[in-house]
Structure 1
Amino acid sequence: MANPSSLPGAAGFSLQSDTDISQTPLPPSEQYQTQSRSGLLLPGEAAISDLLPASGEELPPPYGANLFAGGYETERFDGLNEDYLIAAGDKLSIWLWGAVNLAEVVTVDNQGNIFLPNVGPISVIDTPASRINDVVTEKIRTVYKKNVSIYVNLLTATPVSVYVSGSVIRPGQYAGIASDSVLYFLKRAGGIDSERGSYRSIRVMRQGDTVAQVDLYAFMREGTLKNINFKDGDVIFVEQQKPTISVSGTVKNPFRFEIETNEIDGSSLVELAKPYAKVSHVGVMGTRENGPFSTYLTMETFRSYTLKDGDKLIFNDDLRAQILDIQISGSYLGPSYYAVSKSTRLHALLASIEIEQPLADYSSIYILRDSVAERQKEMIEQSLQRLERSVFTAPASSDGEAAIRAREAEMVLAFTERARKIEPLGKVVVSDNGQVANILLEQGDTVVIPLKSDLIQVGGEVVMPQAIVFNPKAKITDYIAWAGGYTERANYERPLIVRANGMIEFGDNAKLQAGDQLLILPKVDAKTMQAVKDITQIVYQIAVAANVVLN
């Protein structure tokens, strides 16, 4: 067990560094703040203005708009609300047994009474459904004092007709029952108009007087909704939309919020928008007395900032990480993950990694980097697009040639479809002849310390791809023979060798080393394919980027 830094003679390079490495996250640097703009353009403001919706662009939907997305107006509740008030036309089922037997369904008349033989009229108007049994029983007991049991049940509620007016999609008159919620009637009317209507100021009026005020924000945020017993002729009036503030970015609620006054502080808006914990800055764009403006604030400053009608906000995660997450792969001891400073170089990290000297090929270290893999993917895609354009736009001078080109196009499409599924490795070659380059690390890098191997991997266009024990006296042709020889499609003139450090070499004169990978690439038939050069180039690109052979 040894550390590479203690083996300068064997490795041929020194890994000493002044950079401190820790397996725990390093403290981030001090967060920066930018002040509000006052005639000067501060860093970040131009980008924020580009991200926010400009005048005339579509704004986010109002908070609560999805309340009316479902089809719940078609769902009816079979039971009755216990707070429902008995009204004319309701039906009651009454049972008496014992000294007197009676089973009768009675209807509440226009005067609010029910009538029972030998008992007379009983007033039940505006009695809550939960108390109807007690009220009727108390009256019957005045006549039948003993040996009579009584049970009263509300069977049906009389439908009511409610008007829905104001800023709704389909104002009009809608039927329901008195215990239906205000949401039911609003949904019957098509919901609140998202451009004009208020979700915070909804009035229920009875004979011109307001009997209830509804704020749907309370329902959206806390699940509370007023129980209202509607009566015939009630009016649900949705008032005009209040001042609004539009929110986008890294928040849980990217909506357009109504505010009850013309101003609101940032802290109150944060309670509505629910930004994620990683948010560091807020961009604000709007109009004041002096004209349009935009500013970029830290979250701390934003909480006390005064917002006004029409302001547009974007919540941003704009603090750059001061640490890098680095993965270790291959032959090593200890942890596989390191959190290091963003200025850390490779030697400083390697000095902290323990290895077993007889097993680890520390002179062939390489890095897998996401940014390199993405660039390799882009280059392959560009080559594939050029290939497709050249094939699909190739002229044909006869019907026979046109048929050949159509067949060629089918083969090219099949080839490009498979080629696009290849994922490049993003290898960065950092070692050669025992020397390791001291490059800066990037976020997400995987440092690979290869395991020493006594094998040669032979693949591609050979009869029997396999791993063969390294023989220092053998040539490339010997390994090909041991793998069964070339296939009919093999391009035997330019074998590809992938070294343990990720280096690529071509040619049959190269000398193989233990741990190498020998790939025989396919040869494109010039008789059947016009775009031989383009296809061959792509095959080589894929072999280099992903270490695989694509036929």
Structure 2
Amino acid sequence: MRTTDKLSRFNHRIGPFYIGLVLLLLTGTYQASAQAPRSRVDQLSDEDVQNFYKRAQASGLSEAQIEQAAMSQGYTLDDIAKMRRRINDLRTRTSQPQTETGTVTGRTLPTDLSQRTDSSLTTGVRKDTSRKLQVFGASLFENAKLSFEPNLRIATPRSYVVGPDDEIRIDISGASTGEFQLKVTPDGTVKVPNLPAIFVAGLTIEQAEQRIIARLRQGGYQGLGQSGSGTTANVTLTNIRSIRVTLVGEVVRPGTYTISSLGTAFNALYLAGGPNPETGSFRKINIIRGNRVIRTVDLYDFILKADQRDNVRLQDQDVIRVADYETHVELTGQVRRPAIFEVLPGETLKTVLGFAGGFADDAYQASITLRRNTARERRIVTITEEQLASFIPQRGDKYFVGKILERYENRVQLAGAVMRPGDYALEPGLETVKQLIGRGEGLRKDAFTNRATIVRERADMDRENLSFDLGKLLRGEIADIPLQSQDSLTVLSIRDLREPYYVTIEGAINQPDTVAFVNNMTVADLIAQAGGFQEGAKPNLVEVARRIRQDSAGIRTTMLEIFRFSVDRNLQITPIESTSPEFRLQPFDIVYVRTSVNYEAQKQVTIYGEVMQPGNYAIYNREERISDLIKRVGGLKPEAYIAGAQLRRMGQVVGNDLRNILNDPGSEENLLLQNGDTLFIPRRSEIVSVQGGVLNPSSVSFKGDYKFEDYISEAGGYTENARKSKGYVVYPNGRKDRTHRFLFFSSRPTIEPGSTVIIPFKPLDTNRLTSAERIGIFSLLATVSIALVNVLLR
């Protein structure tokens, strides 16, 4: 606090300043001051002032004694005021935080305010699960971002009522300066040092300001706050108090809440969760102060108009009562905000429609359907558009707004071979077929004018077809046809009356395809469009197959017409067999490009394994066989196992014996080579594999003196379900040999290195009887046998 007037001596904060000044005068520690008692205080450094302040804290003199001592030494009031200011400045810089704009003196909220928790909102709410619509306004207080908390960074409202625990700041500026921080005591007063207590509780901040300034004016600040005095005072509210308000009635969570003294009715309602959507009124919320209703809040004004006139500031011990709703009505269908609305007495259906945002874009506005409860049942009421402003809703009414029909009262349609097909309005100037075609900017060039159709809706909503000669109508040879609403006029195209035209090219061409027919297309044009000839094409023989389109008597022996051409690589055409050089393709023609007789792409086979030169080899001629391939690769290596050679064709092993082929090239096993054949010549294998119905399927080493049964023994012998007589051998070259039987004699196949011995399993006997079934059958047979014996004995 800084001041330069006489009343500053009454401020308890500046007592140490006087002490510091007197210590300066009495102790003589500051030499310049002792020699020149009337010297200016400005000559003192900040360090000296701080030392004086420390000494003053240890002084036991009263403020009056300090002032008398200073005056007796010849110091003026101006010198004393300067010393006080300097000491106060030093204290301010060291004790208060600084910002770019100066000392922080922000307003703060009380710490004991009530907080809303989301889990508390469901307490006491009676949910009506039968309703699917939401009560209008119920979501207002469910939004956590809309808490209606007061803004502390605003000017103090002039109507704010001062109460205990409020803090008031007084700044005096001008000819005199001063600063007072006053807190309202529990008995409603503020205390200015050395002045009587000032009662401010219950006054508005404006009234409190006037009373405080008047008291300061009486205490020494002459002319304070008066025009022409040069001294002004600013009274602001710094820290605010908390107040307690009570919410009763149909709220989600009734009770007493502690809020800021700047809190409003909406802030308190938010803390309590707002009116109960199922039972509470959103339009009759009474604010009671001193047992008197001071305001009735209608939340619809805020929701629909953003009108906050009813959001009044609350005072301590205010009561907010939410009444029960009187009238709820439902409005659904084609409105912008379907919901359950609360209606006050005197409001009409038009008002409710305004609550819902009015009709939707596709609403049927001619009438609204009402379902109303009577004493015993329900009844239907139709409300016309003229009755909206006077119709009074009742409790439980359910209004439904329908949707307009998907039909047009004045539409005609234009489709087909016209320049601008679409929907048009049946109106003066567009009432006939000729006028409609003119509005559609005329016919296209492909229009079929011999016939057009109108599909018309009859009185019974059945449709009928009207056909007419469009060409004659446009030429005026027949009368124009009047149109009716919902008529649909279709002008056919000549393409609609035929199958799609196309031509096809096949054979030795790069891109065989079927393409749309274009008039005046030649064979060379089609070949060029198909990417030209393939390498093996025979250009000197190109055929065109054409359908016979003309009808003739009897049955023709020929089904097509054939035209032949010679086309060189430069696509120059030479007709053959008297074909016209001006030949043009017609729809559905098929062009064939043949392949040269002697042209054939390379075909190759692969040989690998124990051969001299393995790799891929092209088939030289159509008579090349396996033995010829062996010669081309330079023969076999010494370690080649000829008996195990495998020939694969199309991924499958072809069983043959290369030993027979090499010994007798003329044998039937010496097959002709085909594209993709693979011949593999392995090394000798020393393993024999035994699989199938043996106890230990495995692979064993080959032994020259072993026979078929010896290898079975090596695998542990047969299993119980083995088919011993069906055993066979798969040789490494893909050939197979089975067991041969004659009467009581059997001949087993020989075993070669790399062979696989396979013993098949017996098929599962799904028809075999179980033990229980066999016992049952035996019991039945025994019973029948005993019965037969008894019959015979009689």
How would you bin the TM-score normalised by the shorter chain?
0.5 to 0.7
Look up the equivalent residue of 2:160 and give its one-letter code: Y
Displacement of 1:322 in angstroms is: 0.6
Equivalent residue for 1:372? none
Q: Is the 8 A contact 1:331 1:451 kept in 2?
A: no
Q: What is the CA deviation profile of residues 413-459 of structure 1, one whole-angstrom value per residue up to 9, with x for unaligned ones? A: xxxxxxxxxxxxxxxxx9999999x999998989899899xx98999
Q: What is the CA deviation profile of residues 55-97 of structure 1, one whole-angstrom value per residue up to 9, with x for unaligned ones? A: 9842422222232232222855123444321112111111234
Change over 3 Å in CA distance of 1:100–1:433 after alignment to 2: closer
Q: Is the 8 A contact 1:323 1:339 kept in 2?
A: yes
Distance 1:132 1:450 in 2: 93
Q: What is the CA deviation profile of residues 345-396 of structure 1, one whole-angstrom value per residue up to 9, with x for unaligned ones? A: 97763254333x7x633339999x9xxxxxxxxxxxxxxxxxxxxxxxxxxx
Change over 3 Å in CA distance of 1:366–1:244 after alignment to 2: farther
Displacement of 1:241 in angstroms is: 1.8
Change over 3 Å in CA distance of 1:84–1:354 after alignment to 2: same
Indicate yes or no: 2:388 matched with 1:312: no
Distance 1:85 1:224 in 2: 20
Displacement of 1:482 in angstroms is: 2.3
Taking structure 2 as the reference length, what is the TM-score of the superposition? 0.39
Q: What is the CA deviation profile of residues 281-311 of structure 1, one whole-angstrom value per residue up to 9, with x for unaligned ones? A: 2010021235211133322245444431101
Distance 2:213 2:301 in 1: 39
Equivalent residue for 1:470? 518
Look up the equivalent residue of 2:383 and give its one-letter code: L
Indicate yes or no: 2:294 matched with 1:246: no
Change over 3 Å in CA distance of 1:127–1:271 after alignment to 2: same
Q: What is the CA deviation profile of residues 99-139 of structure 1, one whole-angstrom value per residue up to 9, with x for unaligned ones? A: 65432211112232212124433333233335654443333
Equivalent residue for 2:139? 66
Look up the equivalent residue of 1:161 and give its one-letter code: R
What is the DSSP-based 3-state SS (H/G/I as helix, E as strand, rest coil) of the residue aligned with 1:295? strand
Distance 1:208 1:118 in 2: 40
Alignment equivalent of 1:220, drawn from 282, 303, 322? 303
Equivalent residue for 2:222? 145
Look up the equivalent residue of 1:127 and give its one-letter code: L
What is the DSSP-based 3-state SS (H/G/I as helix, E as strand, rest coil) of the residue aligned with 1:220? helix
Displacement of 1:471 in angstroms is: 2.4
Change over 3 Å in CA distance of 1:442–1:67 after alignment to 2: farther
Change over 3 Å in CA distance of 1:203–1:75 after alignment to 2: closer
Once the two structures are aligned, what percentage of the paired residues are identical? 22
Distance 2:259 2:512 in 1: 78
Look up the equivalent residue of 2:411 and give its one-letter code: L
Indicate yes or no: 2:446 matched with 1:361: yes
Q: Is the 8 A contact 1:366 1:448 kept in 2?
A: yes
Structure 1: runs of 5+ lacking an equivalent? 1-54, 370-429, 486-507, 514-551
Equivalent residue for 2:169? 93
Distance 2:414 2:189 in 1: 82
What is the DSSP-based 3-state SS (H/G/I as helix, E as strand, rest coil) of the residue aligned with 1:156? coil
Q: State the Cα RMSD in Å.
A: 5.0
Look up the equivalent residue of 2:170 and give its one-letter code: I
Segments ≥4 residues shifted beyond 6 Å:
327-331, 343-348, 364-367, 430-436, 438-452, 455-459, 464-469, 508-511
Distance 2:527 2:486 in 1: 40
Distance 2:515 2:263 in 1: 76
Q: Is the 8 A contact 1:86 1:126 kept in 2?
A: yes
Indicate yes or no: 2:267 matched with 1:184: yes
Distance 1:312 1:188 in 2: 32
Alignment equivalent of 1:286, drawn from 372, 375, 380? 372
Indicate yes or no: 2:340 matched with 1:256: yes
What is the DSSP-based 3-state SS (H/G/I as helix, E as strand, rest coil) of the residue aligned with 2:202? coil
Displacement of 1:257 in angstroms is: 1.6
Indicate yes or no: 2:186 matched with 1:110: yes
Displacement of 1:145 in angstroms is: 1.2
Q: What is the CA deviation profile of residues 125-171 of structure 1, one whole-angstrom value per residue up to 9, with x for unaligned ones? A: 23333565444333322331146432221112211122222222222
Change over 3 Å in CA distance of 1:252–1:353 after alignment to 2: closer
Indicate yes or no: 2:161 matched with 1:161: no
Equivalent residue for 2:314? 230
Q: Is the 8 A contact 1:132 1:153 kept in 2?
A: no
Which one has more relative contact order, counting CA pairs under 8 Å at least 6 apart?
Answer: 1
Look up the equivalent residue of 2:378 and give its one-letter code: P
Q: Is the 8 A contact 2:141 2:147 kept in 1?
A: no
Look up the equivalent residue of 2:242 and give its one-letter code: P
Change over 3 Å in CA distance of 1:468–1:480 after alignment to 2: farther
Displacement of 1:195 in angstroms is: 0.7
What is the DSSP-based 3-state SS (H/G/I as helix, E as strand, rest coil) of the residue aligned with 1:221? helix
Distance 2:341 2:190 in 1: 50
Q: What is the CA deviation profile of residues 150-205 of structure 1, one whole-angstrom value per residue up to 9, with x for unaligned ones? A: 22211122111222222222222222123322111111112221111110111222
Distance 1:312 1:87 in 2: 50
Distance 1:98 1:463 in 2: 101
Distance 2:522 2:134 in 1: 72
Look up the equivalent residue of 1:354 and give its one-letter code: E
Q: Is the 8 A contact 1:251 1:274 kept in 2?
A: yes
Change over 3 Å in CA distance of 1:446–1:221 after alignment to 2: farther
Distance 2:204 2:490 in 1: 74
Displacement of 1:220 in angstroms is: 2.5
What is the DSSP-based 3-state SS (H/G/I as helix, E as strand, rest coil) of the residue aligned with 1:88? coil
Displacement of 1:325 in angstroms is: 7.1
Q: Is the 8 A contact 1:200 1:217 kept in 2?
A: yes
Matches within 5 A, 1:310-349: 310-318=396-404, 321-324=408-411, 332=419, 338-340=424-426, 349=436
Structure 2: runs of 5+ lacking an equivalent? 1-127, 224-228, 456-466, 474-480, 505-509, 533-559, 562-584, 589-794
Distance 1:225 1:451 in 2: 74
Q: Is the 8 A contact 2:244 2:259 kept in 1?
A: yes
Alignment equivalent of 1:204, drawn from 276, 279, 287? 287
Task: Report the number of matched residues.
Answer: 366
Change over 3 Å in CA distance of 1:363–1:196 after alignment to 2: same
Q: What is the CA deviation profile of residues 7-50 of structure 1, one whole-angstrom value per residue up to 9, with x for unaligned ones? A: xxxxxxxxxxxxxxxxxxxxxxxxxxxxxxxxxxxxxxxxxxxx
Distance 2:262 2:316 in 1: 12
Q: Is the 8 A contact 2:370 2:397 kept in 1?
A: yes
Q: Is the 8 A contact 2:452 2:469 kept in 1?
A: no
| Higher CA-based Rg | 2
Displacement of 1:313 in angstroms is: 0.2
Q: Is the 8 A contact 2:408 2:486 kept in 1?
A: no
Q: Is the 8 A contact 2:417 2:447 kept in 1?
A: no
Distance 2:141 2:440 in 1: 59
What is the DSSP-based 3-state SS (H/G/I as helix, E as strand, rest coil) of the residue aligned with 1:61? coil
Look up the equivalent residue of 2:298 and give its one-letter code: D
Q: Is the 8 A contact 1:275 1:315 kept in 2?
A: no
